[in-house]
């Protein structure tokens, strides 16, 4: 009898333990993560913030080519927990120190029928949750193909959402603000003919970072961190259930990922707060990335740059040397068009301008042969990355730049031919080292080669990282245009300073441009993954284009504010030198504003509406403030309590002039000088589509 009782109670204990293990909770501050295993053994999770549901119970798991039900029939083998609270210093960034505090819970699962293992690691931060799948080393699952990842995010309401289409090849769409249930990208994709390559087969798919606001005031951001050796995750919206489901970008034959265990997927991230400012201040994505892999970083120098660029974007000059791809002169050379921008004299003009204004770099696009038919032909071998056009005297230019203390920035446009770039990469970087280039801007305009691959698929994700690693080997800083959107890998590769991967200022040059709310949305979406090379600083807001009505959709003062609100450690002053010289008083802000910061305070924020950010210069007592608004005028009203107590500062306020307006009167600005301290308030009127920039220099 006693034996029977002991056996029974052991059984009870065992099944109780099993059941207890099937439901797990972990929390930090207001954030709570719940894990559960359904009756059919499928893993689920949910997230709450301060008792409010953020993600309702949502599925986890996969279909694999070799196991189509790797999402059910699991048992919990064990659960591990730990917590961490550390501080680390980024090589550059928005703050000098970053706190990494989290509670980690790893759920070890085993598929009962096959014995295959899968771990799910959850990290709970005070501002959200990250989780990833880990495939441990195991005999039953070594090399395998991911057919689909089934991760879902079942939202608790029909939130206001800021989205671009989930396109396999581009992030360069304008944002739509709508209810979750109204997501439908078909019309936007069809009409976005200015975007070179569009592949968006699912009209209900959106890109991440996806920003949402709930009716009860929660701000929710979904993205991913540490995207390595895996395709990008886009999200399919099911309006009936308000469920966002992972959609991995496929490869040329329709598979999603090729995996060799042990393997960890990227982290899926959910950042949440009841304050919009907290979303922008979150370091969750960076914290989920690995520390720097670089042996040394003392060669990495954040800087501003000007470039031979806007004049081609606006049609004043060309990248190509000749107007003909195939006709040659009698001597067999290209026939010069006479409007090639990257000629020695013009480059020296930009170097002079940079040197005069303490701007560290000069980017030169269109310097190398190949631009006559560079794009649109899906041609593999376009550029060799080392052969200058005849009017670009690299020896003279290098000497001139060195003599003026200016660094040249290399331009390697691949026209999407990653295979060609891969083959030439060592040659290209050796060439940069030989000629003293400290940074490179890459580009991937066009359909990808290997043909059938996409900009955001696993193959290309690995290619961008290969480039970052190669650049690091040669001590070159990297700014990638048209790559997959960033996921915090700038922590691991701090020489990978910036990416485009969004609709930049350039769309104001060659297309209908960016709506006045565009720059109030980008920090909550694309920039959640990392810095953006937005190319701010256009001063000539109208009259630069031959297309009637084409103009930048901001005031001039707002262009200045973007140097603070749109963070990048490689930051361009994008307009022509003559347009800066015409407004040298306003240009003073661009001369002064730093690109590396000790601290950042988000003072006012509402996605799609407005943004005010103050940043403290690295290693100095000075602060710089940027405020922007959408199409509506507003009054910025902030307390300067972040200034050192008892210290006086000279504040120079660059603001919209009386009657300024992005459409009718965009170039009107006023400059005012004040003395301020930590007791002061700053109240500045922002015009419709306007902004203000303030330098606050310690006296
Ligand atoms: C698109 C890039 O975004 C732009 O900055 C560059 O000038 C062109 N491609 C040419 O490479
Ligand atoms: Ca682009």
Mean pLDDT of 278-289: 99
What's the pLDDT tens digit per position in 526-577?
Answer: 999 999 999 999 999 999 999 999 999 999 999 999 999 999 999 999 999 9
Alpha-carbon distance of 464 to 632, in angstroms, equals 39
Q: Find out whether the beta carbon of 413 lies less than 6 Å from any atom of ligand 1.
A: yes
Instruction: Tell me which of 172, 413, 506, 667 is the catalytic residue.
Output: 506
Output the CA 534–ligand 2 centroid distance in Å: 9
* Protein residue whose Cα sits closest to atom 6 of ligand 1: 443
| Cis-peptide, bond into residue 616, ω within 30° of zero | no
Residue with tokens 């949402």: 212
Given a contact cutoff of 8 angstroms between Cβ atoms, the answer to whether 306 and 572 are in contact is yes
Nearest-5° Cα angle at 643, 642 to 646: 130
CATH topology of domain 303-596: TIM Barrel (3.20.20)
Task: Give percent above pLDDT 90 in the chain.
Answer: 96
Q: What are phi and psi of 424, to 5 degrees?
A: -95, 0
* Protein residue whose Cα sits closest to atom 7 of ligand 1: 309
506 is catalytic: yes
pLDDT score at 18: 55
Radius of gyration of the chain (CA): 26
What's the pLDDT tens digit per position in 180-199?
Answer: 999 999 999 999 999 989 99
Q: Which two tokens stand for residue 350?
A: 């930009």
DSSP secondary structure code for residue 573 in this structure = -
Domain ranges of the chain: 2-89+97-287, 303-596
**Chain mean pLDDT for the chain:** 96
* Cβ atoms < 10 Å from Cβ of 633: 15
> Which of 318, 365, 526, 533 is the best mutation target for the ligand 1 pocket, counting ligand atoms within 8 Å of the beta carbon and taking the most?
365
Alpha-carbon distance of 150 to 498, in angstroms, equals 31
* Protein residue whose Cα sits closest to atom 3 of ligand 1: 481
Output the CA 443–ligand 1 centroid distance in Å: 6
What's the pLDDT tens digit per position in 621-670?
Answer: 999 999 999 999 999 999 999 999 999 999 999 999 999 999 999 999 99
Given a contact cutoff of 8 angstroms between Cβ atoms, the answer to whether 200 and 168 are in contact is yes
Q: Find out whether the beta carbon of 500 lies less than 6 Å from any atom of ligand 1.
A: yes
Strands laid side by side in the 23-28 sheet: 23-28, 31-37, 43-49, 52-59, 152-155, 243-248, 233-238, 205-206
* Protein residue whose Cα sits closest to atom 2 of ligand 1: 481
- Which region among 3-17, 187-201, 279-293, 331-345 has the lowest average model confidence (pLDDT)? 3-17
Output the CA 372–ligand 2 centroid distance in Å: 19
The dotted CATH code for 2-89+97-287 is 2.70.98.10
List residues bridging with 83 in a β-sheet.
103
* Cβ atoms < 10 Å from Cβ of 193: 8
Give the ligand with the smallest distance to the CA of 414.
1
> Which of 413, 414, 444 is the best mutation target for the ligand 1 pocket, counting ligand atoms within 8 Å of the beta carbon and taking the most?
413
Give the ligand with the smallest distance to the CA of 383.
1
Output the CA 80–ligand 1 centroid distance in Å: 48
SS (H, E, C) 578-636: HHHHCCHHHHHHHHHCCCCEEEEEEEEEECCCEEEEEEEECCCCCEEEEEEECCCCEEE
Residue 489 CA: distances (Å) to CA of 91, 255, 529, 554, 569: 13, 24, 8, 31, 14
Q: Find out whether the beta carbon of 317 lies less than 6 Å from any atom of ligand 1.
A: no
Output the CA 560–ligand 2 centroid distance in Å: 21
Q: Find out whether the beta carbon of 443 lies less than 6 Å from any atom of ligand 1.
A: yes
Note the pTM of the prediction, 2 decimals. 0.96
Which atom of ligand 1 is nearest the CA belonging to 411? 11
Q: What are phi and psi of 599, to 5 degrees?
A: -155, 155
Which atom of ligand 1 is nearest the CA belonging to 413? 11
Given a contact cutoff of 8 angstroms between Cβ atoms, the answer to whether 43 and 58 are in contact is no
By three-state DSSP, how is residue 578 classified?
Answer: helix
- Which region among 9-18, 295-304, 517-526, 601-610 has the lowest average model confidence (pLDDT)? 9-18
Output the CA 536–ligand 2 centroid distance in Å: 14
Output the CA 416–ligand 2 centroid distance in Å: 12
> Which of 506, 534, 535 is the best mutation target for the ligand 1 pocket, counting ligand atoms within 8 Å of the beta carbon and taking the most?
506
Residue with tokens 């976005």: 192
Give the ligand with the smallest distance to the CA of 310.
1
Bridge-based pairing state of the strands 74-88 and 98-111: antiparallel
Work out the pLDDT band at 21, boundaries 50, 70, 90: confident
Task: Tell me, yes or no, if the two domains 2-89+97-287 and 303-596 fold the same way.
Answer: no
Q: Which two tokens stand for residue 272?
A: 């949440």
Q: Find out whether the beta carbon of 506 lies less than 6 Å from any atom of ligand 1.
A: yes
Give the ligand with the smallest distance to the CA of 442.
1
Give the ligand with the smallest distance to the CA of 309.
1
What's the pLDDT tens digit per position in 583-630?
Answer: 999 999 999 999 999 999 999 999 999 999 999 999 999 999 999 999
Output the CA 223–ligand 2 centroid distance in Å: 21
Q: Which two tokens stand for residue 22?
A: 């099937």
């Amino acid at each position: 009898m006693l034996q029977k009782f002991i056996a029974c109670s052991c059984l009870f204990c065992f099944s109780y333990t099993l059941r207890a293990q099937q439901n797990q909770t972990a929390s930090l501050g207001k954030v709570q993560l719940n894990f559960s295993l359904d009756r059919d053994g499928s893993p689920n999770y949910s997230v709450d913030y301060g008792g409010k549901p953020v993600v309702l119970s949502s599925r986890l798991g996969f279909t694999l080519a070799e196991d189509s039900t790797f999402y059910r029939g699991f048992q919990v083998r064990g659960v591990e927990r730990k917590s961490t609270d550390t501080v680390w210093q980024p090589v550059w960034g928005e703050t000098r120190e970053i706190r990494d505090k989290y509670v980690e819970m790893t759920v070890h699962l085993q598929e009962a029928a096959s014995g295959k293992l899968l771990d799910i690691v959850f990290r709970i931060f005070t501002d959200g949750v990250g989780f990833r799948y880990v495939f441990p080393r195991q005999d039953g699952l070594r090399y395998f193909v991911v057919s689909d990842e089934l991760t879902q995010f079942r939202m608790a309401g029909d939130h206001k959402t800021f989205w671009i289409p989930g396109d396999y090849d581009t992030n360069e769409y304008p944002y739509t603000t709508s209810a979750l249930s109204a997501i439908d990208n078909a019309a936007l994709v069809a009409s976005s003919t200015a975007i070179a390559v569009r592949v968006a087969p699912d009209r209900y798919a959106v890109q991440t970072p996806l920003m949402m606001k709930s009716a009860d005031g929660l701000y929710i951001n979904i993205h991913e961190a540490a995207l390595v050796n895996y395709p990008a995750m886009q999200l399919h919206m099911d309006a009936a259930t308000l469920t966002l489901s992972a959609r991995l970008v496929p490869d040329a034959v329709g598979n999603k990922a090729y995996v060799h265990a042990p393997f960890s997927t990227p982290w899926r991230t959910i950042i949440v707060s009841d304050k919009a400012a907290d979303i922008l201040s979150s370091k969750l994505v960076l914290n989920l990335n690995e520390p720097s892999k670089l042996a040394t970083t003392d060669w990495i120098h954040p800087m501003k740059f000007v470039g031979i660029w806007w004049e081609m974007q606006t049609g004043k000059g060309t990248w190509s040397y000749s107007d003909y791809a195939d006709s040659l002169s009698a001597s067999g050379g290209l026939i010069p068009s006479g409007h090639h921008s990257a000629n020695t004299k013009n480059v020296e003009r930009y170097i002079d301008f940079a040197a005069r204004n303490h701007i560290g770099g000069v980017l030169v696009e269109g310097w190398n042969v190949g631009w006559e038919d560079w794009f649109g032909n899906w041609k593999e071998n376009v550029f060799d990355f080392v052969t200058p056009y005849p009017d670009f005297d690299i020896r003279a230019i290098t000497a001139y730049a060195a003599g003026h203390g200016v660094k040249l920035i290399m331009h390697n446009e691949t026209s999407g031919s990653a295979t060609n770039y891969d083959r030439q990469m060592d040659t290209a970087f050796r060439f940069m080292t030989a000629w003293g280039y400290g940074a490179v801007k890459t580009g991937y305009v066009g359909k990808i080669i290997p043909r059938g691959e996409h900009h955001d698929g696993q193959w290309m994700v690995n290619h961008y990282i290969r480039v970052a690693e190669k650049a690091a080997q040669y001590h070159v800083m990297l700014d990638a245009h048209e790559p997959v959107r960033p996921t915090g890998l700038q922590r691991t590769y701090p020489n990978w300073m910036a990416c485009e991967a969004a609709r930049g200022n350039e769309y104001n040059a060659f297309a209908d441009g960016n709506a006045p709310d565009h720059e109030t949305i980008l920090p909550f979406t694309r920039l959640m993954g990392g810095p953006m090379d937005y190319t701010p600083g256009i001063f000539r807001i109208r009259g630069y284009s031959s297309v009637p009505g084409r103009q930048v959709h901001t005031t001039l003062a707002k262009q200045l504010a973007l140097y603070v609100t749109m963070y990048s450690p490689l930051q361009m002053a994008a307009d022509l030198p003559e347009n800066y010289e015409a407004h040298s008083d306003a240009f003073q802000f661009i001369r002064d504003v730093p690109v590396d910061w000790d601290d950042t305070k988000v003072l006012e924020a509402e996605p799609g509406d407005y943004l005010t950010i103050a940043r403290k210069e690295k290693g100095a007592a000075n602060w710089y403030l940027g405020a922007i608004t959408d199409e509506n005028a507003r009054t910025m009203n902030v307390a300067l309590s972040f200034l050192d107590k008892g210290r006086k500062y000279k504040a120079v306020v660059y603001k919209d002039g009386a009657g300024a307006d992005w459409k009718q009167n965009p170039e009107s600005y006023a400059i005012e000088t004040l003395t301020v301290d930590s007791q002061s308030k700053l109240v500045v009127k922002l015009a419709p589509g306007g902004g203000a920039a303030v330098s606050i220099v310690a006296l």
